[in-house]
């Protein structure tokens, strides 16, 4: 799976794309998942693409058989509906909890994912920016990442005279 495909899908749906803010995670079946509109996945642990940006979180399910994103089932949770983001470190993985007004979405995030080399880099970036996972800091890390990814005129490289 290529991060550019995710970017194109999000931009095509009018959702801003933030650099270093996309992860692959496995949804744990919970009542909160059902209340957030994911009733089809209550009995299975399903892979999702999570994209955090300054306006909310985009959640894209992945087809188990083909490994492709299911574009028609993209869910966007705006910041207004998100009460808290939590990331807890475990020995082999992390637990990422999105607490919304409709319930909690609990994801298992592996440290690396085969076929998605960008996942490990993005996870490290989010953890470094968030100070290893305070709720408000995780959201702030994505906002900072978006501002740093935009090149400024002052930062333009200048040629050297040799």
Q: Of the segments 7-16, 61-70, 111-120, 144-153, which one has the largest average pLDDT value?
A: 7-16
Mean pLDDT of 139-160: 48
Residue 86 has pLDDT above 80, yes or no: yes
pLDDT, one tens digit per residue, over 45-82 is 688 999 999 999 999 988 888 889 999 989 999 999 99
Specify the CATH number of the domain 3-147.
2.30.29.30
Q: Mean pLDDT throughout 110-114?
A: 86
Q: Is residue 4 within 8 Å of residue 31, measured between CB atoms?
A: no
Q: How far apart are CA 24 and CA 62, in angstroms?
A: 9
pTM for the whole thing? 0.74
pLDDT of residue 29: 76
């Amino acid at each position: 799976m290529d991060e550019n495909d995710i970017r194109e899908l999000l931009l095509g749906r009018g959702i801003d794309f933030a650099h270093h803010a996309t992860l692959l995670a496995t949804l744990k079946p919970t009542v909160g998942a059902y209340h957030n509109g994911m009733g089809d996945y209550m009995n299975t642990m399903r892979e999702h693409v999570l994209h955090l940006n300054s306006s909310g979180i985009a959640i894209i399910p992945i087809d188990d058989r083909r490994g492709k994103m299911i574009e028609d089932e993209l869910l966007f949770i705006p910041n207004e509906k998100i009460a808290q983001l939590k990331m807890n470190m475990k020995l082999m993985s992390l637990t990422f909890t999105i607490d919304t007004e409709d319930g909690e979405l609990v994801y298992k995030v592996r440290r690396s994912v085969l076929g998605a080399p960008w996942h490990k880099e993005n996870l490290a970036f989010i953890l470094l920016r968030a100070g290893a996972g305070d709720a408000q800091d995780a959201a702030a890390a994505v906002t900072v990442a978006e501002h740093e990814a935009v090149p400024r005129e002052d930062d333009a490289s200048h040629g050297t005279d040799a």
